[in-house]
Chains A and B, each alone.
Chain A
Amino acid sequence: MKLEREAVTHIARLARVHLTDDEIDTYAGQLGDIIGHFDVLDGVNTDGIEPTTQALMLRNVMADDVAGPSLPRDVVLDLAPTTEDGYLRVRAVLE
């Protein structure tokens, strides 16, 4: 199985990953091959079986509602590529 180029570019757009033309060709073959192997799941009867999200099956772990120390603002902002007046700076979101 090979994915269509359009399907690959659609997934890449959903994932917000830019792909080159060569990458689109490569992934069309490789993703199709990998996804083709997923058909083995059709052979497992899961009627009436609940999904497992994680093996411990812990649910709704609550923390005490107490404020604790967090990282200083300047330490966190120092990690960012562009900041302004104590905020993260990005290009316009809406055009």
Chain B
Amino acid sequence: MDLHWLSIDEASRRLDAREISSRELTKAVLDRIEAVDGRVGAYLSLAAESALESADAADKRRSDGERGSLLGIPVALKDVLSKRGLPTTCGSRMLESYVPPYDATVVELLDRAGAVVLGKTNMDEFAMGSSTENSAYHPTHNPWDLERVPGGSSGGSAAAVAAGEATFALGSDTGGSIRQPAALCGVVGMKPTYGRVSRFGLVAFASSLDQIGPFTRTVRDTATVLNAICGHDKRDSTSAPVDVPDFTVGLDRGVQGLRIGVPREYMPSSLDAGVRAKVEAALSAFESQGAIIERDVPLPSTEAALAVYYIIAPSEASANLARYDGVKYGFSYTQGKTMWENMEMTRGQGFGAEVKRRIMIGTYALSSGYYDAYYLKAQKVRTVIRNEFDAAFEKYDVLVSPVTPTPAFKIGEKANDPYAMYLNDVFTLPVNIAGLPGISVPAGLVDGLPVGLQVIGKPFDEEAVLRVASAFEAASGWQDQHPPL
């Protein structure tokens, strides 16, 4: 098999056996990027030279006797994660020239584990979007059909892993930004429980919803990456002071006797027939493996979740993005006569259309006279949504559903209809609202395009999510399929 298609698990086995070096593996992935990224557009910036230096350092550590699942493994970082010395644009003109002077906690942890950073991947500006078309730089193309979107906002990370341009990648998920592109690109993508992974050094979008997570080509690899990046961090006061298990241990336990619920509202009559068929096939597979399947699990406030999300996320964003004032760092308009004129022009010119749209929605929802009707009401409905999930998890170990209502759509198809774009995340964003762990695992192709199966777990029960995803993956045999690039 070409080195660029190796899983983390297989690559580290070969590295340990001295069959390959990290330099060879890294070079193979860089060559793959050179060969296909002109068509895919997964990366915003590459760090080839420092990647090869890191690979050599990893090879040295290994020859000194060190072992580690990520030692010498090439990784791509969504361009919302700070790495000292590398540009961190967030897909925005606002941060075109910004180079962070410090590392995100996850970057520090990957560095300690010896992972090799290849570069930074494309994204919707400030992680706002579902197609990666909102990048200020260029769109990313779905490796399965270059005329279609890879999903978003972490579309570059998903496409990179799908196209063999990285062995794994990190992204961030505020309303589905890991799971949705993972589904549309046919890779595994997981949003851990809110608080599992430190957000220190993740450029903030919506702080009560944002969570960092991995893209990989197998469920086992996702567990391996979680082992490296999860854990309490005093630099993120919302990171959870809870123990982190070894997520790889229970992967092969199967689903015998597990209670799997299917939320009624996540299988609407409007669901794409091909997507529905893949979810039904998954349910049959679980049933034949001894799981207890219960359909029609009620989550009645699902319909309100989209509104809750599109009030809370933009409200938090409008506060978080107030920091871009042209004074401290980033793009700065300096031709104005007053400080206010400079600030307003900096923000008017530095932000793209969707970012301004969301700042405006959030500012409106928080403004005097509307706060109670929108923001406070949304926070109360958020409690109702959490309570409904809590009730479901009293009866079921996990919930499963489609990740998206349809497979990948054409680039440009929804660009002028923001609300139609928002509907892409209708099955993923309730999971962020409730702070739950969720994974997208490849469920097969519909007319040549990948779709995903979502598995949702109780807070801090990533193990059940991974166990169910792993059982499905073993039954589906998907992980050996690659896009015909």
Contacts and interface: CB of A to CB of B under 8 A. Distances in A.
A15 interface: yes
A16 B344 contact: yes
B77 interface: no
Interface string A14-52: 111111100100110011011101101101101001111
A50 B357 contact: no
B301 A44 contact: yes
Contact of B308 (A41, A43, A58, A95): A41
A16 B360 contact: no
A71 B103 CA distance: 12
Given A17-B359, A44-B384, A81 B326 contact: yes
A88 to B, nearest CB: 6
Interface in B376-392: 376-384, 386
Q: Chain B at the A interface: mostly helix, strand, loop or mixed?
A: helix
A31 B384 contact: no
Interface string B12-35: 000000000000000000000000
Interface string A52-63: 111110100101
A71 B328 CA distance: 14
Nearest to B236: A61
Given A15-B359, A41-B308, A41-B381, A55 B434 contact: yes
A24 to B, nearest CB: 10
A37 B419 contact: yes
Contacts of B336: 91
B363 A15 contact: yes
B137 interface: no
A80 B346 CA distance: 13
A76 interface: yes
Interface residues of A, number: 49
Contacts of A58: 195, 237-238, 240
B208 A53 contact: yes
A87 to B, nearest CB: 11
A67 interface: no
A92 B359 CA distance: 26
Contacts of B318: 15
A11 B208 contact: no
B435 A51 contact: no
A15 B436 CA distance: 31
A68 to B, nearest CB: 10
Interface in B197-238: 207-208, 234, 237-238
Interface string A80-95: 1110000010111101
B342 A90 contact: yes
Given A63-B234, A79-B99, 17 more contacts: A17-B344, A17-B348, A18-B347, A27-B357, A31-B360, A40-B304, A41-B308, A41-B378, A41-B381, A46-B380, A52-B386, A54-B435, A55-B436, A75-B101, A81-B329, A91-B337, A91-B341
19 contacts: A16-B325, A17-B356, A20-B348, A23-B353, A34-B422, A37-B419, A40-B303, A40-B304, A41-B304, A43-B304, A49-B383, A49-B384, A51-B379, A55-B434, A58-B237, A75-B101, A88-B328, A90-B342, A91-B338
Q: Which 4 A-B pairs have the closest CB atoms?
A: A55-B435, A18-B348, A51-B379, A81-B332
